[in-house]
Amino acid sequence: MSEASTTNLLEMQNITKRFPGVIALNNVSLKVKAGSVHALMGENGAGKSTLMKCLFGIYSMDEGKILFEGKEVAFTNSKQALENGVSMVHQELNQVRQQNVMDNIWLGRYPKKSIFIDEKKMYQDTVAIFKSLDINVDPRSKVSTLSVSEMQMVEIAKAVSYGSKIIVMDEPTSSLTENEVDHLFKIIRRLQSENVAIIYISHKMEEILKISDEVTIMRDGQYIATKSSNELTTDEIIKLMVGRDLSQRFPAKVNKPEDIILKVSDLTAETQPSFSNVNFELRKGEILGIAGLVGSKRTEVVEALFGIRALKSGTIELNGKVIKNHSPQQAIKNGFALVTEERRSTGIFPDLSVSFNSIISNMKQYKTKSGFLSNRKVADDTQWVIESMQVKTPSQKTLIGSLSGGNQQKVIIGRWLLTTPDILLLDEPTRGIDVGAKFEIYQLINQLAADGKGIIMISSEMPELLGVTDRILVMSNGRAAGIVETRETSQEEIMRLAALY
């Protein structure tokens, strides 16, 4: 942690923001020092992003005031905020992917030579920023060809190009590898040395304690506390976030695995390099974890089971019968369901209702003989999802995009349960979800296994795999490196297998 300035660069005082029927922020205050990394923590729905959107001019606050560099400000749009030295790197990157990198950085403010865009200056200025941040990306590359981490670095470079004095980073490491996180932290340290302040939103507590100087914790739209990072532990943060001790991070197991329900033999992807000769079995009522480093092809295996990826060879047996999942539709018919990793891009329709998102995988069930949807059946099944998954939503008609990440995930799981699957495939089911909602998802997974579902769960969080699963399949560079009994294994053994090939 750095030696931050003692001067408050930003003061948000008694901020209140109301939406119809909801007080999203209730008298919240935040003070951020120049040159510091100030973490903002809280469960999903605590108000962190809403507070930052008030700062950034996306939302107008109902009460309170904002002081930036000692002067009162009230930005009415993001352009104003950027031009005044406040920038935000959003969790969902909003880039023009068919344009090149430097176009994305200088969009709307191109350097000009007479009436023409000065391409040479734009290129040189981009190279200079990248060099100062140790970013190795070609400014002329199309954004669509970049990795997620490279896209994120481009967004940070864009923030720096505005001469930003404060940069908000919302869940910046949710899709990064360990090495990429280290690189991000080096960039943050470099920005700090130039007296830039970082507001850092993350659910990753070990990361927060490593990178931040101070931590502000919010709960239910209210300010709870601000403390120096070196005064805090993970347990103390959890207690402040959820308002209670969460001594048990994982629920007691209630499932009892029975007979083999799924047998996968010599599964090999059609397109290589990918996975090859993968073998495993799954029992009824079992939670089988899949571990592995980035690039180990965990997701590809699950996508192949669901008919998204073509197979070159291998067999899938369900209840002793060989089946073919050539498409997701066929997989659903055969009793498979998949909760994808990228909830926002491939899991939900954010601008449509909880009701629509609940029934979309099972539409044929709601058609009457005349071809219309049965509104009553739709409403009944949506209510079943809300009640059985314990979804916190004002109504069935609420846009799912306005719910917290944990509640969105519950709707997705409920949606798939309406298809009555035998096999539930979960790819990073708690990614971007706060600690309290994670516990509820774990309970749900546990109960589904106890009800006889066969569950395959990919996770990058080792404690999660060890706390939730019965056995763990470890992938290494596209191959199954081994299967271990969860209660008998260790993180060290899993990491050794993950690096085997």
Burial annotation 79-89 (CB, 10 A radius, 16+ → b, else e) = eebbebbbbbb
Q: What token pair was written down for 132?
A: 């100062």
User: Any idea where the domains of the chain sit in the sequence?
Assistant: 8-242, 248-335+422-501, 347-420
The backbone torsions φ and ψ at residue 114, rounded to the nearest 5 degrees and listed phi first, read 60, -125
How do residues 316-356 score in pLDDT, each as one tens digit?
A: 999 999 999 999 999 999 999 999 887 767 788 988 999 99
Give Cα 154 distance to the centre of its chain: 19
The matching CATH number, chosen from 3.40.50.10610, 1.10.10.10, 3.40.50.300, 1.10.30.50, for 8-242 is 3.40.50.300
Rg of the chain taking only CA atoms, in angstroms: 24
Cα–Cα distance for residue pair 66/176, rounded to 1 Å: 32
Strands 336-339 and 423-427, how do they pair? parallel
Contact partners, residue 466, CB within 8 Å, separation at least 6? 472, 486, 489, 491
> What is the rounded CA–CA span in Å between residue 41 and residue 44?
9
Three-state DSSP class for 87? strand
Backbone angles phi, psi at 22, to 5 degrees: -140, 135
What are the residues facing 166 on neighbouring strands?
Answer: 86, 197
d(CA 490, CA 258): 24
DSSP conformational letter for 163: T
* Burial grade of 328 (CB within 10 A; 0-12, 13-18, 19 or more): middle
Q: Tokens 């962190």 identify what position?
A: 48
Beta pairing, strands 311-318 & 260-269: antiparallel
HEC sequence for 197-250: EEEEECCCHHHHHHHCCEEEEEECCEEEEEEEHHHCCHHHHHHHHHCCCCCCCC
Confidence at residue 374, expressed as pLDDT on a 0 to 100 scale: 87
Structure tokens at 363: 């539409």
How far apart, in whole angstroms, are the C-alpha atoms of residue 248 and residue 84?
45
413 in helix, strand or coil? helix
Residue whose token pair is 């920005």 = 191
Neighbours of 97 (CB within 10 A): 12
Are 201 and 171 a contacting pair, CB within 8 Å?
Answer: yes
Structure tokens at 391: 């979804």
Nearest CA among 274, 358, 259 for reference residue 313: 274
Residue 412: per-residue pLDDT: 92
Residue 472's nearest CA partner among 463, 482, 339, 249 is 482
Position 3 scores a pLDDT of 52
SS3 367: strand
Within 10 angstroms of residue 95's Cβ, the number of other Cβ atoms is 19
Is the bond into 273 cis (omega within 30 degrees of 0)? yes
The whole-angstrom separation of Cα 368 and Cα 364 is 9
- 444 is written with which tokens? 């749900």
Cα distances from 415 to residues 141, 247, 374, 402, 410, in angstroms, run: 39, 31, 17, 18, 8
DSSP state letter for 343: I
Domain 248-335+422-501 in the same topology as domain 8-242: yes
Does the domain made of 248-335+422-501 have the CATH classification 3.40.50.300?
A: yes
The token pair at 289 is: 């974890």
Give which of 26, 477, 87, 21 is closest to 275, Cα–Cα.
Answer: 477
d(CA 376, CA 374) in angstroms, rounded, equals 5
Cα dihedral value 124, 126, 130, 132, nearest 10 = 70
Residue 42 and residue 241 in contact, taking contact as beta carbons nearer than 8 Å: yes
Q: What is the mean pLDDT of each run of 10 residues along the chain (501 residues)?
A: 69 92 90 96 83 94 95 93 91 79 89 87 92 90 86 87 92 77 90 94 86 94 95 86 70 93 96 94 97 88 96 96 95 94 79 92 82 88 90 91 86 90 93 78 92 94 91 95 96 87 84
Residues 6+ away with beta carbon under 8 Å from 374: 366, 367, 368
Per the listing, tokens 């919302």 go with 170
439's enclosing H/E stretch is helix 435-450
pLDDT at 183: 87
Residue 287 is predicted with a pLDDT of 97
Contact 56, 168 (CB under 8 A): yes
Q: From CA 416, how far away is CA 397, in angstroms rounded?
A: 19
Q: Which residues pair with 30 in a beta bridge?
A: 12
Whole-number pLDDT of residue 303? 95
Give the other-Cβ count within 10 Å of 178's Cβ.
Answer: 11
Task: Name the one residue in this structure whose structure tokens are 């709960």.
Answer: 219
